[in-house]
Structure 1
Amino acid sequence: MAVWVDDNQHHCQSDNPTIGDARMDSPGFCAQYCTYSTMENETKHIISMVNIDKRETMRNSVVMEKEAFQQTFEALRQEINLTEICTNAHSQISALFNKGKYRDSGVHHTLDVWHGSKNLSKKIHAAGQQKGCAILQMWNKDICNHFWYCCKTADTYEEFIDMCVGVLHHVTGEHTWALGECKHGPLLDDRDKELIESGSVAHERLAEIILDERWLKVVPKYLNFRSTADLESFHNHILMYASKRFSFSPPVYAACTMLAGLDYNHHLHRPARRKADGTIQSIAAETMNNLHRTIADVMLRPKSDPSTSQDTSGNPMSYVLLLIVLMFFIFVIIVSSFSNTEIKK
């Protein structure tokens, strides 16, 4: 186990909320190490990192995130005035705050709003697979966007309920009802989105999802509108020091993760590189543009005049060059998609 808490008061403001998330050292369910990182919400500095070896949890990788969170929680309470901590929708961590010392600690546990929207979308998608409910697929994105809006603007649980229940009227074309009205402005008359018929099977299924007691019980944890996206970006940064495609001994893995945290904090507020015209230079975009130009040059290269040049139709070098460029292009796409998967994990 390795714990690091930055004692620099410039980095760590005691009253600021903190966000935490775990990162496994390998994809799938065969992880050997779990790194639980904690970030200060306002300054975006990494203030704590805890590494757990699977051998510390009886070789059960499923409970490593819970164990890492518990050690992080105890370490932070000794170093700072911990008032709020935001995590992903991990059921084992959420269960800790339902009873015992975690509930009585005075620390407010909140959840990442992205995970709440994701869970809501999965429920609506599953309901849309049922007979007579296909129209829910069309409204899935709009309902999730409304959930984001409610979490961001609602100050109390009651206000959230009033706004969230309004979507059951909005999807039917009713924008004013007995107890309230929609908050949006005038809508276009030529909208082609199909409305859900009130009282239909799809409308009743949507009402069951929105008014589910278990779902509404968790809603207060989303009202602070926190997100762990920046912390997941840091976990992607750890790949520079500890790739998931290689194995490390415990001391080496701990050192790599600590170096990643120090590097991230040191360069956190470094200004972005800019071009001569003042615009931000994107390395990825520049690389892809160069690749596209290379492919275009190879594909659109004009043919030589047969009467003035030698016959090169049998020369395989041009085809080899094209094949190399295409293979590199495919490699860039695979690496990009793999990096997105790592961030979600």
Structure 2
Amino acid sequence: MGLFEVCPVCKRVCSVKNKVLGTFISVKQLCEYCEYSRIWQSQPLLDSTPAGNLQLSAAVYISGASYFKLQRVFKAMHLQIFLYTFRRHARMFIEPAIVHKWNHSQDVMLQQLSKERKLILGGDMRADSPGHCAKFGSYTMMDLNTKTIVDLQLVQSNEVGGSSHMEKEGQKRSLALLDARGVTIDSIVTDRHPQIQKFLRDNNITQFYDVWHMEKGITKQLHKISKTKDCQKVKTWMRAIRNHIYWTAASSITGPERVAKWTSLLNHVQDIHTHDDPLFPKCLHPIRSTTDKSRWLSGATPAFYKLEKALTKKTVLRDIAKLSPHHQTSSLEAFHGVILRFAPKNVVYPFLGMLCRLYLAALHYNENSDRGQATTSSGDLMFRLTFPKARKGECRAKPVKTEATFQYVNDLMDMIMEKVLVDPASYRAEILKINIPPELSSEYEHPVKEEVIASYVSRFNQGRVV
């Protein structure tokens, strides 16, 4: 401010007035003697909006950062920041740009997919909170051939009568959209949700089950069995059984063949490698004689009885027959991890805010889905060592991918500053087409605030103990 105190013409003290608007400051200098004046601005004004304020709001939203955390950072550093402008920027400029960007990107994808004959999709839902109290459920459809997100449907629990019905409704909406756009579906890989099974069966859509979900359920049962009396030997076979599930799915063509290979495991653990089923008459590994007979299970023991009961249940054999032979939903699970960067589960968002953050996660994932493995300066592939919690201290090598790109961020920033800000009405029109359900609290009667406050009693206000 010292630069504005003295008039550059007559060298006398000037009158200085400043105006602060968020990160924007303007200084008006006026000399009362020679009438010299000038106005200095820290950043340009776009119409009446400071460019830096809008750029900061857009950068925070698009990058998946938290405005409230940024506000605390600015306060700790004594930096100026706007207070109530972020939501207005999001509503007027940022969210319309995100919706337009996703709609355009999806249109291009669906036009290409409509020309393909065999499309294998993966579908799964992510709830915004654990348990049966979720407010939002986001259903994702992924093209498993290219590992790209082709559709996202956000369902609010009061639309379908409860959170347990959100997954079916999300898949129903997604399939309706794909059908309307002329996309032909060969099959869908999902988990074993009962409502999804019935819906796809009624609509004559081929469904396969993700192997990891199946393996996880069986592993939990085997862990439970291995902790019971006289069944500790089951634990030594758990890794082999997990591997056998994946091999059964990947090496089989038909459902009966999968069942035959799966049930052959019960002979294998007894050191019997020929089987009665003609679809899989003998094990494919070389037959070796072993001197250690203690590793094999005996058919007359509680361990074998419980193992056989767990692996040959009617529901297990039915689901084994429908295991996906090639494509799995592990990429969908990875995408759910990306969503956490943009929409953490411990933060409550409005419907449109949640939808836009899902679109941002999809744009980020699709842009980086085909990243290759990083290499060293000498050309060697790069790996890092991990200790997965589920593997109980077992060390694993994991490939290191190349750095992620963020071209979608640059595109959105340019769109907001150069197009949406100039003509926001046309972009807002896309927002108005979205069916936004009423808030959950709208279902209840809203009492008078003063009455609720008057009825407030602390649970620790018990009065004096005599």
> What is the TM-score of this pair, normalised by structure 2?
0.54
1:105-184 alignment runs, 5 A limit: 105-177=203-275, 180-184=281-285
CA deviation after TM superposition for structure 1 residue 10, in Å: 4.3
Contact 1:38 1:46 in 2 (8 A): yes
Q: CA RMSD for the aligned pairs?
A: 2.7
Match of 1:262 in 2: 363
| Unpaired stretches in structure 1, ≥5 consecutive residues | 289-345
Match of 2:120 in 1: 17
Match of 2:321 in 1: 220
Match of 2:173 in 1: 71
Contact 2:252 2:325 in 1 (8 A): no
CA deviation after TM superposition for structure 1 residue 217, in Å: 1.9
* Cα distance in 2 for residues equivalent to 1:255 and 1:177: 55
Query: Could you tell which deviates more after superposition, 201-210 or 174-183?
Result: 174-183
Aligned with 2:196 (options 87, 93, 106) = 93
* Cα distance in 2 for residues equivalent to 1:95 and 1:89: 10
* Cα distance in 2 for residues equivalent to 1:148 and 1:192: 27
CA deviation after TM superposition for structure 1 residue 266, in Å: 2.2
Contact 1:154 1:223 in 2 (8 A): no
| Unpaired stretches in structure 2, ≥5 consecutive residues | 1-98, 387-466
Q: Would the alpha carbon gap of residues 11 and 271 (structure 1) be closer, same or farther in structure 2, given more than 3 Å must change?
A: farther
Q: Would the alpha carbon gap of residues 191 and 45 (structure 1) be closer, same or farther in structure 2, given more than 3 Å must change?
A: farther
Contact 2:125 2:138 in 1 (8 A): yes
* Cα distance in 1 for residues equivalent to 2:282 and 2:359: 52
Query: Could you tell which deviates more after superposition, 226-235 or 119-128?
Result: 119-128
Which one-letter code corresponds to 1:42 in the other structure?
N
Contact 2:376 2:382 in 1 (8 A): yes
Match of 1:304 in 2: none
Contact 1:24 1:33 in 2 (8 A): yes
* Cα distance in 2 for residues equivalent to 1:78 and 1:219: 33
Match of 1:56 in 2: 159
Match of 1:248 in 2: 349
* Cα distance in 2 for residues equivalent to 1:259 and 1:11: 21
Q: Secondary structure at the match of 2:341?
A: coil
Cα-to-partner distance string for 1:127-162 (whole Å, 9 max, x where unaligned): 334433232222122122112111111112232233
1:40-55 alignment runs, 5 A limit: 40-55=143-158
Which one-letter code corresponds to 1:172 in the other structure?
Q
> What is the TM-score of this pair, normalised by structure 1?
0.72
Q: Would the alpha carbon gap of residues 271 and 10 (structure 1) be closer, same or farther in structure 2, given more than 3 Å must change?
A: farther
Contact 2:251 2:325 in 1 (8 A): no
Match of 1:307 in 2: none
CA deviation after TM superposition for structure 1 residue 258, in Å: 0.9
CA deviation after TM superposition for structure 1 residue 69, in Å: 1.7
Query: Could you tell which deviates more after superposition, 3-12 or 229-238?
Result: 3-12
Greater relative contact order structure (CA < 8 Å, 6+ sep): 1
Which one-letter code corresponds to 2:175 in the other structure?
F
* Cα distance in 2 for residues equivalent to 1:281 and 1:149: 27
Q: Would the alpha carbon gap of residues 169 and 83 (structure 1) be closer, same or farther in structure 2, given more than 3 Å must change?
A: same
Q: Would the alpha carbon gap of residues 161 and 250 (structure 1) be closer, same or farther in structure 2, given more than 3 Å must change?
A: closer
Query: How many aligned positions are there?
Result: 278
CA deviation after TM superposition for structure 1 residue 281, in Å: 5.8
* Cα distance in 2 for residues equivalent to 1:48 and 1:243: 21
Contact 2:256 2:321 in 1 (8 A): no
* Cα distance in 2 for residues equivalent to 1:22 and 1:192: 46
CA deviation after TM superposition for structure 1 residue 187, in Å: 4.1
Q: Would the alpha carbon gap of residues 15 and 178 (structure 1) be closer, same or farther in structure 2, given more than 3 Å must change?
A: closer
Contact 1:6 1:47 in 2 (8 A): no
Q: Secondary structure at the match of 2:321?
A: helix
Percent identical residues: 25
Which one-letter code corresponds to 1:71 in the other structure?
R
Q: Secondary structure at the match of 1:174?
A: coil
* Cα distance in 1 for residues equivalent to 2:113 and 2:376: 30
Contact 1:84 1:109 in 2 (8 A): yes
Q: Secondary structure at the match of 2:296?
A: coil
* Cα distance in 2 for residues equivalent to 1:138 and 1:272: 34
Matched, 1:33 2:136: yes
Q: Secondary structure at the match of 1:144?
A: helix
Q: Secondary structure at the match of 1:181?
A: coil
Q: Would the alpha carbon gap of residues 71 and 193 (structure 1) be closer, same or farther in structure 2, given more than 3 Å must change?
A: farther
Q: Secondary structure at the match of 1:37?
A: strand
Cα-to-partner distance string for 1:99-122 (whole Å, 9 max, x where unaligned): xxxx2x331011101111112222
